[in-house]
Amino acid sequence: MIDYGVGNLGSVLKAFNYLNVPVKLTDNCQEIREAKGVVLPGVGAFGSGMGNLINFHLKETIVEIINKGKPFLGICLGLQLLFTSSDEAPGIKGLDIIKGQVKKFDIEKVNKIPHMGWNQVKLNQEDLLFKNFSRDQNFYFVHSYYVNPEDSELILGETEYGSQEFVSVIRKNNLWGLQCHPEKSSEIGLKVLKNFSEVALNGN
């Protein structure tokens, strides 16, 4: 699990520990390269999060391991940083692994900003991350921005908030991204983290 000086890392670490999944919180590039799977969690602003990845010399390592096919999971800010840019930080380029922009909710379409609380993720296809799930499940969200990928085929799940539907799960080959917080989503969220760990450790 990548340590890049943002919030909520401890909660994700605790969730993996609860599942008895071997996990290490680190900013060491070599340790990240040697890991069987990598998680980029985080709560915070796009600009400072991206700045920390650069300052900790982690940007190139993340791009490298994803391109080499290592199982990778981005959570909340960790998902948003995978994109080209964000309305939250004009002029700051993201990791650009997924082409598209991070957009702010339109207050005229949603109840309030941030979107906070439990909401349904509607999956559009079966996937290893949601193995043995019923189609639609509720997860916990805390965010003011949502991702907008250029390639709609990367969209694995969507969520309705007010009159706006937004992308809540993406997948690109070995890369998954969740806008929700599985570590705060009770048993169903732990199941997602468990499934990811099985993909990383066992390939299925």
Query: For 160-182, what is each residue's pLDDT tens digit?
Result: 999 999 999 999 999 999 999 99
User: What are the tens digits of pLDDT across the range 87-106?
Assistant: 999 999 999 999 999 999 99
Whether 87 and 45 have beta carbons less than 8 Å apart is answered as: no
pLDDT tens sequence across 15-63? 999 999 999 999 999 999 999 999 999 889 999 999 999 999 999 999 9
Handedness of CA 82, 2, 39, 140 (dihedral sign): negative
Is 82 domain-assigned?
A: yes
Q: Which of 60, 158, 183, 198 is an active site residue? A: 183
Alpha helix (H) residue ranges in 40-185? 46-55, 59-67, 77-80
Answer whether residue 186 is part of any domain: yes
Which contacts qualify for 12-15: CB closer than 8 Å, 24 or more apart?
12/39, 12/41, 12/75, 12/183, 12/193, 14/183, 15/182, 15/183, 15/189, 15/190, 15/193
79 is a domain residue:
yes
Residue 94: inside a domain: yes
pLDDT for the residue numbered 133: 82
- Would residue 128 count as lying in a domain? yes
Domain span at 147: 9-202
Give the active site residue among 115, 143, 180, 181. Answer: 181
Contact 147, 175 (CB under 8 A): no
Let me know if 183 is a catalytic residue.
yes
Establish whether 143 is a catalytic residue.
Answer: no
Domain CATH for 26 = 3.40.50.880
> Residue 101: beta bridge partners?
85, 148
Catalytic residue among 60, 64, 76, 158: 76
Residue 183 inside a domain? The answer is yes
* Distance (Å, whole) CA 99 – CA 27: 25
pLDDT of residue 111: 83
Is 34 considered catalytic here?
Answer: no
Question: So what's the pLDDT on residue 8?
Answer: 81
Do the domain assignments include residue 1? Answer: no
Residue 2 lies in a domain: no
* Domain count along the chain: 1
* Distance from C-alpha of 38 to C-alpha of 175, rounded to nearest angstrom: 10
Amino acid (1-letter code) at residue 131: K
